[in-house]
Amino acid sequence: MLSILRTIWYVFLHSFQKRITVQYPEQKPYLAPRYRGRIILSRDPDGGERCVACNLCAVACPVGCIALQATEDKNGRRYPEFFRINFSRCIFCGYCEEACPTYAIQLTPDFEIGEFHRKNLVYEKEDLLINGPGKHPGYNFWQIAGVKIGGKDKGEAAHEAAPVDVHTLLP
């Protein structure tokens, strides 16, 4: 009897304490920029696709939910022919982002991707590509890599000397 009364008393006291329940969806919680939510593909500062289809995200993915196929434009710039993430399998671990050598794949603070049909959780490249560089504004992989692409010849990347003249024997 006494214990019941004590419980009622505590419940009564609780009604005066500060509420910690957030009134979602009316009230949005704060999500840090590094929150691991919906995955996007970003673009270079110059607007080109950042993903070079190296397959490292796919191989890092513990559930194997990323599939892509590499292809090349006529100037030698590599990009994914298709890039597919099956979000119905994704566990939002962020390994893909960690593995990405070009900062192309990034996790964003958006988790509102619930669907009634699993097949709607399959995102293709058009669904993933955003229009900006995301969390890494300045980085451009092609300025660091040694391969020649349209608009960047040999020797024009960062820290590159002009191409060697193979006909000279001068020391």
Partner 1 sequence: MATVYVDNKACEMNPEENLLHGCLSHGFKLPYFCWHPALGSVGACRQCAVKQFKDDKDSQGKIVMSCMTPAAEGTRISIADPEVVAFRAGIIEGLMLNHPHDCPVCDEGGECHLQDMTVMTGHDYRRYEFEKRTFRNQDLGPLVNHEMNRCIQCYRCVRYYRDYAGGRDLNAFASRDQVFFGRSEDGVLENEFSGNLVEICPTGVFTDKTLKHHYARKWDQQFAPSVCVHCALGCNTDAGERYGSLRRIVNRYNHEINGYFLCDRGRFGYEFVNSEARLRQSVLKDRPTSAAAARQYLDQTVANGRVIGIGSPRASLESNFALRTLVGPDHFYSGIADHEAKLVGLMLEILRRGPMRTPTLRDIEESDVVLILGEDLTNVAPRMALSVRQSVRQQPMEAVKKLKVPLWLDHGVRDAMQDARGPLYIATPYRTRLDEVATATFRAAPDDLARFGFAIAHALDSSAPISHETSQDWLMAAAIARALKAAKKPLVISGTSCASEAVIQAAANVAMAANTALSFTAPECNTIGAALMGGNSLSAAFQAVKDGEADTVIILENDLYRRAPQAEVDSMLKAATHVIALDHLPNPTTEKAELLLPAGTFAESDGTFISSEGRVQRFLQVSAPQNEVMASWRWLKPDHWQSLDDVLRAMAKALPELDAACDAAPSSKFRIAGAKIPRSPLRESGRTAALVNINISEPKTPDDPDSALSFSMEGTPDQPPAALIPFFWSPNWNSIQAVNTYQKEVGGPLRGGDAGVRLFEPAPRNGQAYFSAIPRAFSPRQGAWLLVPMYHIFGSDELSLAAPGIRELATKPHVAVNSDEFAEGAEVEVNCAAGTFRLPVMIHREMPVGVAALSVGLSPLVGIQWPTWGKIARAK
- Among 39, 40, 41, 56, the residue binding partner 1 under the rule CB under 8 A is 56
What lies within 8 Å, CB to CB, of 63 at 6+ separation is 89, 90, 91
54 binds partner 1 (CB under 8 A): yes
Distance between CA atoms of 15 and 150, rounded to whole angstroms? 66
The answer to whether 143 touches 157, Cβ cutoff 8 Å, is yes
Stretch that binds partner 1, among 5-13, 17-25, 125-133, 146-154 (CB under 8 A): 146-154
Q: What is the dihedral of CA 93, 94, 99, 103, to 10 degrees?
A: 170
Distance between CA atoms of 81 and 65, rounded to whole angstroms? 17
Binding footprint of partner 1, residue count (CB under 8 A):
50
Residue-wise DSSP of 63-106: T--EEEEEEE-TTS-EEEEEEEEETTT-----HHHHH-TTS-EE
Distance between CA atoms of 154 and 7, rounded to whole angstroms? 77
State how far Cα 46 lies from the chain centre. 18
Q: Which residues within the stretch 91-110 sit at the binding site for partner 1 (CB under 8 A)? A: 101-102
147 binds partner 1 (CB under 8 A): yes
68 binds partner 1 (CB under 8 A): yes
Stretch that binds partner 1, among 6-14, 20-28, 30-38, 159-167 (CB under 8 A): 159-167
114 binds partner 1 (CB under 8 A): no
- Among 47, 130, 144, 150, the residue binding partner 1 under the rule CB under 8 A is 144
25 binds partner 1 (CB under 8 A): no
* Interface residue list for partner 1 (CB under 8 A): 52-56, 58-59, 61, 63-72, 78, 84-86, 88-89, 101-102, 118-119, 122, 124, 141, 144-148, 154-155, 159-169, 171
